[in-house]
């Protein structure tokens, strides 16, 4: 719940505040299941069939509502001024802005000496601290041995055994039988509790139970000896006496109070066989997953190593060498081809130059070459001849003789 219902606003709305308060009250364990003692006043029975009244004592007043469904079971009818103890829970009637007790059960008070005795003893034991919250012990979640104190012939035992069989048959039940009503019941209950506590090893938890009945039927569970035996039991005690609406003094002294014998057996076995089976299934699945993962991790490692081995193998190097050789050969051939081409080109150039130098081609263009017949040398300068010399002239298709007519 945010501090402010609307983050942009510094103000509660009435509805949000009321709802917030209602949740506070409804979340409070103590207010969910309580008994309130007081005097009925302002009783009103509208046609809706619901019952509205105020419960008051000398110091305060408490608005109460009882729905039609519960009113139908109400015995006897209520009237103003009646002293009662009311069972229900506290919540808020939002549109009226009223906190009130939503009652589901009303028991008239002042019904004789029994109830007075109940209140007297309750106050006495409470003052001694027997009911203190700090005395309550936590219960084992997986009890191996469950002690049961009840009548061996009652419905309570059948309900308890059925519930334990259904929820947690791993436990061993140790029945410590005792009568649960009548004058012999209180000492027998004390003895039955003592027998369980004396076991070696003692049970992990004790269920003290009895089916429903009148206030007189349940009276043994208000007996001071029994209440003290419950309070002093070394083994934690869960009580399940009567119905939801019955409260006995052993309930206050017990480590945990269950509304019925069946509920007591349920509270004694918070973890069921089905819960265990589920946990086992989960654990088994985890083991399989872990092994699968470990195997596949190793498999992957193996594959990676195989790859590396292949890469490092001599065969692989041989291939590489072969490839390098091929490459070299290819490069060699290429280089050779290159060089041949170069030679050919050069040769061609040379040939062209040669052709250009062929004297025949000059002669064909009309030039001629003179040679001295005496030594066969080509005449290229004036000083080589004198007047009267006979020279041989060469033209493109043959030679003939010529005479020098002047000269130096």
Partner 1 sequence: MSEKPIEELTYEEAFAELEMIVNALEAEQHSLEEAMALFERGQALSKRCADLLDQAELKVRRLSGEAFSAEEE
Contact residues for partner 1, defined by CB under 8 A: 142, 152-153, 157-158, 161, 164-165, 169-179, 188, 191-192, 195-196, 199, 273, 276-277, 279-280, 283-284, 286-287, 290-291, 293-295, 297-298
Residue among 297 and 322 whose Cβ is closer to partner 1? 297
Residue among 245 and 272 whose Cβ is closer to partner 1? 272
Residue among 51 and 230 whose Cβ is closer to partner 1? 230
Residue among 78 and 188 whose Cβ is closer to partner 1? 188
Minimum distance, C-beta of residue 7 to partner 1, in the bound complex (Å)? 43
Minimum distance, C-beta of residue 48 to partner 1, in the bound complex (Å)? 46
- The Cα 71–Cα 67 span in angstroms is 6
Minimum distance, C-beta of residue 276 to partner 1, in the bound complex (Å)? 6
Minimum distance, C-beta of residue 199 to partner 1, in the bound complex (Å)? 8
Minimum distance, C-beta of residue 208 to partner 1, in the bound complex (Å)? 14
Residue among 84 and 229 whose Cβ is closer to partner 1? 229
Residue among 119 and 291 whose Cβ is closer to partner 1? 291
Query: In which order are the strands placed within the sheet that holds 398-403?
Result: 369-371, 390-395, 398-403
Minimum distance, C-beta of residue 98 to partner 1, in the bound complex (Å)? 49
């Amino acid at each position: 719940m945010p501090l402010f219902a609307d983050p942009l606003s510094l103000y509660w709305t009435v509805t949000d505040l009321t709802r917030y308060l209602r949740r506070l009250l409804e979340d409070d364990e103590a207010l969910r299941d309580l008994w309130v003692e007081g005097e009925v006043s302002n009783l009103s029975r509208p046609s809706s069939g619901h019952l509205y009244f105020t419960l008051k004592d000398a110091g305060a007043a408490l608005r109460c509502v009882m729905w039609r469904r519960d009113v139908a079971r109400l015995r006897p009818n209520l009237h103003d001024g009646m002293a009662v103890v009311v069972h229900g829970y506290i919540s808020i009637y939002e549109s009226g802005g009223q906190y009130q007790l939503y009652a589901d059960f009303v028991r008239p008070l002042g019904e004789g000496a029994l109830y007075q005795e109940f209140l007297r003893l309750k106050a006495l034991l409470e003052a001694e601290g027997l009911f203190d919250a700090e005395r309550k012990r936590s219960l084992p979640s997986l009890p191996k041995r469950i002690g049961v104190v009840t009548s061996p012939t009652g419905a309570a035992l059948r309900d308890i055994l059925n519930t334990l069989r259904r929820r947690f048959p791993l436990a061993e039940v140790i029945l410590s039988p005792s009568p649960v009503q009548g004058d012999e019941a209180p000492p027998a209950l004390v003895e039955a509790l003592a027998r369980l506590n004396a076991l070696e090893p003692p049970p992990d938890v004790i269920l003290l139970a009895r089916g429903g009945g009148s206030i007189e039927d349940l009276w043994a569970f208000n007996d001071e000896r029994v209440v003290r035996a419950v309070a002093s039991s070394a083994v934690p005690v869960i009580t399940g006496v009567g119905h939801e609406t019955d409260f006995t003094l052993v309930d206050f002294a017990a480590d945990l109070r269950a509304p019925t014998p069946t509920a007591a057996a349920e509270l004694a076995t918070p973890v069921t066989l089905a819960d265990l089976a589920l946990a086992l299934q989960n654990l088994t699945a985890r083991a399989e997953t872990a092994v699968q993962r470990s195997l596949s991790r190793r498999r992957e490692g193996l594959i990676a190593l195989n790859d590396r081995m292949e890469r490092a193998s001599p065969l692989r190097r041989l291939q590489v060498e072969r490839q390098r050789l091929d490459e070299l050969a290819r490069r060699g051939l290429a280089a050779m081809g290159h060089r041949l081409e170069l030679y050919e080109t050069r040769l061609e150039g040379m040939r062209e130059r040669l052709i250009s130098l062929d004297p025949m081609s000059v002669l064909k263009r009309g030039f001629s070459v003179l040679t001295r017949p005496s030594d066969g040398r080509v005449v290229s300068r004036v000083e080589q001849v004198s007047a009267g010399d006979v020279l041989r002239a060469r033209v493109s298709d043959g030679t003939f003789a010529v005479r020098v007519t002047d000269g130096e």
